[in-house]
């Protein structure tokens, strides 16, 4: 046994002193948070784990975990929280947390900064594309090594949509559970109502198309609570909320599978404009309409990154002395 195995066995023994060999299965889930730089990912994670810490900028890929007991005197379920920092600049790190060992219990939370509509589509597209490609590679390998599991994961993608849903043939669900969070609703709320409507409709379409849940949040406790409901469902299997809010003048809250293309309506552009846009898929059409309204700004997530070696939160006396000596 490795040192880790012994440590795990020791912890389990302490937590269940009278289990008489009857083991209660521990629920273990993993969630990767990604999205705009400075979009509020760390704040959301800390609120989900009920930690009163001040959030610091995330360096590359960070890990933390939470534990909850389902009942008194039962072993605690574990949720692993990974957070990808740097916006879209460190995409290759997505390969680290998502592997064939945990793909069955993995979910993704995409946090989009509603106050930056010009960066919204590019960030969303890049992050979801790279994640999807990586997950599909894992599923292709699993088809050879564990076909039952690969089939189970592929069938589960469609679980949120009833077979009799009118859009069943028109959507393309994400291969693993996905929650899209629109952060900084307090700033977004000050936008012109037409702008808000276009952003809200577009995010509703994208979420519905990918079979994802959608929620708008800010630092207000009531809105953070709604985001926590969706994340706790992914992390600890808590009940899903059945409430829905699709009013564009209020924060959106739409659990997966409870929206429809007929409710969302067509892309917000005139028929003549739509006629001129060449698009092969509905997603491409929405992208063109959205980017006509909010032209994508070329931005580099790395340009304003401070050197972590100068950051006070990573001070380490011996290492820093050696670095100074080397520099000298």
Question: Does 276 map to a domain?
Answer: yes
Question: Does 248 map to a domain?
Answer: yes
Query: Could you tell me which residue, 161 or 147, shows the higher pLDDT?
Result: 147
CATH number, position 266:
3.40.50.300
Question: Does 318 map to a domain?
Answer: no
Question: Does 15 map to a domain?
Answer: no
Task: Report the pLDDT value the prediction gives residue 169, as an integer from 0 to 100.
Answer: 75
pLDDT digits (tens, 9 = 90+) for 246-260: 788 788 888 887 888
Task: Report the pLDDT value the prediction gives residue 294, as an integer from 0 to 100.
Answer: 86
243 has a pLDDT exceeding 50? yes
Task: Report the pLDDT value the prediction gives residue 305, as an integer from 0 to 100.
Answer: 57
Tell me the average pLDDT across 203-217: 89
**At 267, is the pLDDT very low, low, confident or very high (cuts 50, 70, 90)?**
confident
Domain that holds residue 169: 24-293
Distance CA 191, CA 121 (A): 18
pLDDT digits (tens, 9 = 90+) for 6-52: 888 888 777 665 554 445 566 788 889 988 888 778 888 777 777 77
Give kind and range of the element (H or E) at residue 29: strand 28-35
Task: Report the pLDDT value the prediction gives residue 21, as an integer from 0 to 100.
Answer: 47
% of the chain at pLDDT higher than 70: 91
Q: Is the pTM of the predicted complex or chain greater than 0.95?
A: no
Q: Buried b vs exposed e over 78-112: b needs ≥16 C-beta within 10 Å?
A: bbbbbbbbbbbbbbebbeebbeeeebbbbbbbbbb
What are 307's two structure tokens? 């050197």
Question: Does 141 map to a domain?
Answer: yes
306 has a pLDDT exceeding 70? no
CA 314 to chain centroid:
26
Q: How many domains does the chain have?
A: 1
Angle at 131 between CA 113 and CA 252, to 5 degrees: 35
Do 55 and 91 contact (CB within 8 A), yes or no?
no
Task: Report the pLDDT value the prediction gives residue 295, as an integer from 0 to 100.
Answer: 87
Task: Report the pLDDT value the prediction gives residue 326, as an integer from 0 to 100.
Answer: 92
174 has a pLDDT exceeding 60? yes
54 has a pLDDT exceeding 80? no
Question: Does 306 map to a domain?
Answer: no
Residue 254 φ then ψ, to 5°: -135, 100
- CB atoms inside a 10 Å sphere around CB 324: 9
Task: Report the pLDDT value the prediction gives residue 2, as an integer from 0 to 100.
Answer: 85
Do 62 and 45 contact (CB within 8 A), yes or no?
no
Question: Does 316 map to a domain?
Answer: no
Tell me the average pLDDT across 73-78: 77
Tell me the average pLDDT across 220-231: 79
Question: Does 253 map to a domain?
Answer: yes
Distance CA 16, CA 23 (A): 9
136 has a pLDDT exceeding 80? yes
146 has a pLDDT exceeding 80? yes
């Amino acid at each position: 046994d490795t040192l880790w195995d012994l440590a795990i066995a020791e912890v389990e023994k302490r937590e269940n002193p009278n289990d008489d060999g009857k083991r209660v299965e521990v629920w273990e889930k993993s969630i990767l948070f990604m999205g705009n730089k400075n979009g509020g990912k760390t704040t959301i994670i800390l609120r989900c784990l009920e930690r009163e810490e001040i959030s610091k900028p995330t360096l590359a890929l960070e890990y933390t975990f939470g534990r909850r007991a389902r009942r008194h005197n039962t072993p605690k379920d574990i949720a692993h929280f990974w957070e990808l920092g740097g916006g879209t600049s460190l995409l290759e790190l997505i390969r680290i947390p998502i592997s064939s060992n945990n793909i069955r219990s993995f979910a993704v939370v995409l946090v989009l900064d509603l106050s930056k509509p010009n960066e919204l589509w590019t960030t969303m597209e890049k992050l979801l594309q790279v994640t999807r490609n990586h997950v599909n590679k894992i599923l292709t390998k699993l088809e050879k090594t564990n076909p039952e599991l690969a089939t189970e994961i592929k069938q589960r993608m469609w679980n949120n949509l009833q077979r009799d849903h009118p859009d069943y043939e028109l959507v393309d669900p994400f291969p693993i559970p996905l929650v899209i969070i629109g952060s900084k609703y307090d700033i977004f709320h000050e936008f012109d109502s037409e702008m808000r409507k276009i952003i809200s409709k577009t995010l509703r379409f994208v979420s519905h198309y990918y079979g994802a849940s959608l929620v708008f949040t800010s630092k207000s406790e009531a809105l953070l609570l709604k985001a926590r409901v969706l994340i706790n469902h992914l992390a600890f299997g808590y009940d899903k909320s059945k409430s829905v809010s699709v009013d564009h003048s209020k924060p959106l809250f739409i659990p997966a599978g409870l929206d429809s293309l007929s409710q969302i309506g067509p892309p917000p552009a005139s028929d003549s404009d739509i006629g001129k846009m060449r698009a092969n898929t509905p997603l491409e059409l929405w992208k063109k309409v959205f980017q006509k309204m909010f032209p994508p700004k070329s931005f580099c997530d790395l340009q304003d990154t401070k050197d972590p070696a100068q950051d006070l939160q990573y001070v380490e006396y011996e290492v820093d002395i050696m670095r100074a000596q080397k520099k000298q």
